[in-house]
Structures are given as structure tokens and as C-alpha cells.
Amino acid sequence: MIKVNENFCRLAPNYLFSEVARKIQTFQKANPEAHVIKMSIGDVTRPLCPSAVEALHRAADDQGHPDTFHGYGPEQGYAFLAEKICQFDYAPRGISVQPDEIFISDGAKSDLGNIGDIFSPDCVAAITDPVYPVYVDTNVMAGRRVVFLPCNEANDFVPELPSEPVDLIYLCYPNNPTGTTLTRAQLKVWVDYALASGAVILFDSAYECFITEADIPHSIYEIPGAERCAIEFRSFSKTAGFTGMRCGYTVVPHALKGVDSLGHEVDLNNLWRRRQTTKFNGASYPIQRAAEAIFTPSGRIQIRESVDYYLRNAAILRQGVTAAGLSCRGGVNAPYVWVKTPDGITSWEFFDRLLAQTHVACTPGVGFGSCGEGYVRLTAFNTLAATEMAMDRISKFKI
Ligand code: MLT
């Protein structure tokens, strides 16, 4: 029989959100009359903005005419979108990113999972705990050693620098799942550490559009020197409701270098280009046209309305859980609210009791790592009506 990649056998049998979905489905089957409100996976509920829909229609028409038909596109993405990203996501913050440093893809999840291809399997990965499970699971699949950086009340959810040498550092801010943030000064500590140690920071800023407070960096490249030590991942999923469309991008600066076993310097931008051109054929033309449309004046206003809508939901979540006597973090610069379970109840016990009693589904914090035990995560991505109904039910929840 064929030998398998045994690293997969070291993973939990199901991906976190598949497991949560399975549990909800089992509950719904046993209780068909229950109206379950899903505050679990961070999936958007607002439809695509009109500017993106119009662009999709136009792109569909393009594909129906010989003069405007597009076959294989550039694997790295169309210049029309990369140029808009540089112009609108980076230049206004004083960051100089060139279009050929942008790699457009089918979403940040794929890029975060695939980026490990360009690093040695011997690299040690430092990963905050709790964390978006993709970072840990993909490093386990690759056979890498993972060092966890606990984030808890004791350190105010700010990770401490690793106590041993590491090569890759995963940071996600605003944070999924805790909704916490790092200030410029706190992020600078990590950039300085990476520059001094030769580590590379993999910075997931998928939630930057939810930042409402000053002094919280939207991009790691706001920190001097980060272009020499960091790769940044961005997503249109939460920014523009693209969870079902699939589009995101990764920035790999030319200034970022690695080294081979002979000590020769290697350009990471070239390696990622080589990886993507070999294993990926690019996000589709209509999807990239729709993404481009969110940078038009009307598109920018429309997506801001949706982000503000979800931020209002987040405020309702914070008020609701606090009124129910529970303490929480996040929800101010992020669409996630991180709720502490009372009386030492485990994350999964709380999940089960909440679902059984109120028919509200959350995500158990322990699914994001052992430091998430004793917490659950609520998402602000449901509708306003569902968010209000969930909070009404939680206000009557007898723990
Ligand atoms: C989440 O709920 O953490 C996210 O929606 C998952 C994702 O972005 O893949």
C-alpha cells in the first residue's frame, strides 16, 4: 500500500469549522423545529456591493465576446487590480508597494496555507495561541516544529517574544479569534526582533478594515524595516463580502531575502512567483474585475457601509454579553468578540449548553488552541436582526 504523509495523522480528525458545522447539523437534525442562529464561522451575510455586481456582469459580457474574452490570466493577478491595491491600500498610508510585489489569489486562507512551500521544512514556526487554525495545521502537515506564544489575560493578549530561536512568526492583527490588536509600538517590537534574528513575520491583516482606533497599524509595512522581514496577507472576504467569491492577495517585498544551504541570498518574491506560477493559474478574470470595482468611489462607500454595519453588530454583541454578566474582549477593532466562560466551564461545554438552551451557535475557544480553553468566540457577521435575537436569547441564558 502507498505510504502516506504521516504528518496528517497528527492533526485533529476535523478542521475546526467543519467540526462546529457537524455539531450544529447534528443538533438541528435532532431538533428540527429549532431556529439556530450561527454566530460561529466568520462568514459574511451582506450581499456583494452594487459596484462589484455591476463589474461582474460587465466581466461576464467581456467573456462572451471574441474581442474582450480572457483565457488564462497572469498567475500573479491582473495589473489593473494590483495597481489599485498599491494606490488605495498602501500609498495613502505612506507605504511604497510595487504591483510586482502583489500576488493576487483565491484568498488569504490558501496563501497562508501555501506560503510554507518556500521555506525549509526545518524552519521552526512561532504561532500565537489561540490562533486561526490554518497556521498550525499547515505547519503540522509540513512536519515543522511549532512553538506556541500564549496570549491570555496575564499578558493582556499581547504575545511575548519567543524564548528560543524561531524562523517563521505568524501574527494576525486585528486578531482572529480574540479581536485584540497591537499598537504600533508593540508591532515594532516584533519587526525589530525579526530584523535582528533573521526570522520572517507572516502578517495576516485580513481584518484591518475593522480598525476604528488610532495608533493601530493597518499594515505591518507601516513599521520601518518591515519590508525586509515580513510578508503580508490580505483578503477581500471580510472587507468586501467576498467569502463566496474568493479573492485576496499577498505582498512579498523585493527587499525580503532568504538564504540557501550554501549561504547564497535568495529573493523570496522570486520563490513565491515560482511557486504560484507552477501550482496556481490565478484568480478568475470576473472575480478580479469585481475586486477592482471596490476601489471605485462608489465601491469604496458601499463596502464601508457593510464594514460599519458589522461593527455595529460587534458593539451589540459586546453590550449583550456584558449585560448577561460575561466578560469579553474584542469587537472594537475587529468583527470578533472573545467571551470568557464563567465558573471554569470548558469551551465545548459552553458551546453545547448555549446551543441546547438558546439555539445560538458560537465557536469554542479551545478549537483555536489550548490557551483558548475557557473562552468562546462570537462573530459579528450575521444580520442585525439575528444578532439582536441572539443577544436577547443570551440575556435569558441560565448558565
Ligand atoms: C473564521 O471564522 O475564523 C474565518 O471566517 C475563517 C476563514 O476566514 O477562513
pLDDT digits (tens, 9 = 90+) for 100-123: 999 999 999 999 999 999 999 999
Query: Mean of the per-residue pLDDT values for the chain?
Result: 97
What is the pLDDT, as a whole number, of residue 194?
98
The rounded distance, in Å, linking the Cα atoms of 158 and 153 is 9
The rounded distance, in Å, linking the Cα atoms of 335 and 238 is 9
- The arithmetic mean of pLDDT across residues 331-352, rounded, is 97
Report the SS3 class of residue 382. Answer: coil
HSE, CB side, 13 Å, CA atoms: give it for residue 354: 33
Domain ranges of the chain: 6-47+298-395, 50-297
> Residue 107: CB within 6 Å of ligand 1?
no
Residues 6+ apart with CB under 8 A from 356: 27
Query: Quick check: 126 and 162 in contact, CB under 8 A?
Result: yes
> Residue 359: CB within 6 Å of ligand 1?
no
Residues 6+ apart with CB under 8 A from 80: 288, 289, 292
Classify burial at 245, counting beta carbons within 10 Å of its beta carbon; exposed 0-12, middle 13-18, buried 19 or more: buried
Closest ligand 1 atom number to CA of residue 132: 3
- The arithmetic mean of pLDDT across residues 120-147, rounded, is 97
Closest ligand 1 atom number to CA of residue 17: 2
% of the chain residues with pLDDT over 70: 100
> Residue 109: CB within 6 Å of ligand 1?
yes
pLDDT digits (tens, 9 = 90+) for 231-288: 999 999 999 999 999 999 999 999 999 999 999 999 999 999 999 999 999 999 999 9
> Residue 40: CB within 6 Å of ligand 1?
no
Report the predicted TM-score, pTM, of the whole model to 2 decimal places: 0.96
Judged against a pLDDT cut of 80, whether residue 20 lies above it is answered with yes
The rounded distance, in Å, linking the Cα atoms of 186 and 6 is 38
> Residue 41: CB within 6 Å of ligand 1?
yes
- The arithmetic mean of pLDDT across residues 350-374, rounded, is 97
Residue 41 Cα to ligand 1 middle (Å): 6
The rounded distance, in Å, linking the Cα atoms of 174 and 154 is 19
Judged against a pLDDT cut of 90, whether residue 398 lies above it is answered with no
Judged against a pLDDT cut of 80, whether residue 399 lies above it is answered with no
What are the C-alpha distances in Å from 6 to residues 1, 2, 86? 14, 12, 41
Cell of 242: 467576498
The rounded distance, in Å, linking the Cα atoms of 210 and 222 is 17
Cross-sheet strand order for the sheet of 336-340: 328-330, 336-340, 375-379, 363-364
Q: Name the residue with the closest Cα to ligand 1, atom 4.
A: 42
The CATH architecture assigned to 50-297 reads 3-Layer(aba) Sandwich (3.40)
For residue 13, name the pLDDT band (cuts at 50, 70, 90).
confident
Domain range 6-47+298-395, CATH class = alpha beta
- DSSP codes joined into one string, 159-214: PPPPSS--SEEEEESS-TTT-----HHHHHHHHHHHHHHT-EEEEE-TTGGG--ST
pLDDT digits (tens, 9 = 90+) for 275-323: 999 999 999 999 999 999 999 999 999 999 999 999 999 999 999 999 9
For residue 78, name the pLDDT band (cuts at 50, 70, 90).
very high
